[in-house]
Amino acid sequence: MGIPLYGFGALLFVAPALILAVIAQMWVSSAYARGRQAEAKMSGFLAARHILDSAGLRSVEIESIPGQLSDHYDPRAKVLRLSEEVYHGRSLSSVGIAAHEAGHAIQDAVGYLPLAIRNFAVPAASFGSSAGMLLVILGVLLNFKALLLLGIVLFSAVVFFQVVNLPVEFNASRRAKLLLQETGIVGPHEMGPVNNVLNAAALTYVAATLQSVLWLLYYVLRFTSGQRAARY
């Protein structure tokens, strides 16, 4: 008897990651809301600008973009993009998130190896996420093991990206916490809300990685169970 591709059986297999993702998202929302109520000395933009300038990265521009928690650093354009609320907000949540993204810019400037590997893996992960899933489904529906195997290989790029992404995000948060205190933007007694927001965000990356790993394991088990069934 083979393993079902989707349905209750599949969801049950990845349930731990899904539960963790829900917990992480609830923690992020709660931590961000509490941090928004704690006033900071400056806006997210000014905090990021101060951190970047202190690191000698005056050429890195900072832009305001729409959306909530859409903040990111673009290593190709050398631009730090902050959501409007983080860009203009004068809260500990805003400066914490802005400092985290500034940490990515510093990683890029110093040649942080995991970031370079992650950036290299982005195209393969983007392709593997969509194409891999499609080939897995087609491989099962058509009972074509070669397609299923190719889908597993492509989806492996997603798992690789997620695993490499973990140290990148953890390191950026660690840098952010240190830089906020070293530059005097946030005092030691104010770090509670910042730590809460960044730690909650880190858990979302852990949940995403676990989910990808479990899906890959599920596909591999689906493939091997089909191989065993074919022998009998």
Confidence of residue 174 (pLDDT cuts 50, 70, 90): very high
- The burial of 12, by beta-carbon neighbours within 10 Å (0-12 exposed, 13-18 middle, 19 or more buried), is given as exposed
Confidence of residue 92 (pLDDT cuts 50, 70, 90): very high
DSSP 39: B
Q: Which one, of 102, 123, 119, lies nearest residue 171 by Cα? A: 102
For the record, the structure tokens of 210 come out as 């676990």
Our answer to whether residue 101 is catalytic in this structure is: yes
pLDDT value for 223: 87
Contact 88, 64 (CB under 8 A): yes
Alpha-carbon gap, residue 68 to 85, rounded angstroms: 7
b/e 194-226 (16+ beta carbons within 10 angstroms → b) = bbbbbebbbbbbbbbbbbbbbbbebbeebbeeb
**Catalytic site residue from 61, 63, 85, 101:** 101
Amino acid at 32: Y
pLDDT value for 139: 86
Q: Can you tell me the mean pLDDT for 88-113?
A: 96
Q: Using DSSP, how many helices (H) and how many strands (E) does the chain show?
A: 8, 3
Confidence of residue 231 (pLDDT cuts 50, 70, 90): very low
Contact 73, 137 (CB under 8 A): no
Query: What does the pLDDT look like over 16-48, one tens digit per residue?
Result: 999 999 999 999 999 999 999 999 999 999 999
Average pLDDT score, the chain: 90
Q: What pTM did the predictor assign?
A: 0.87
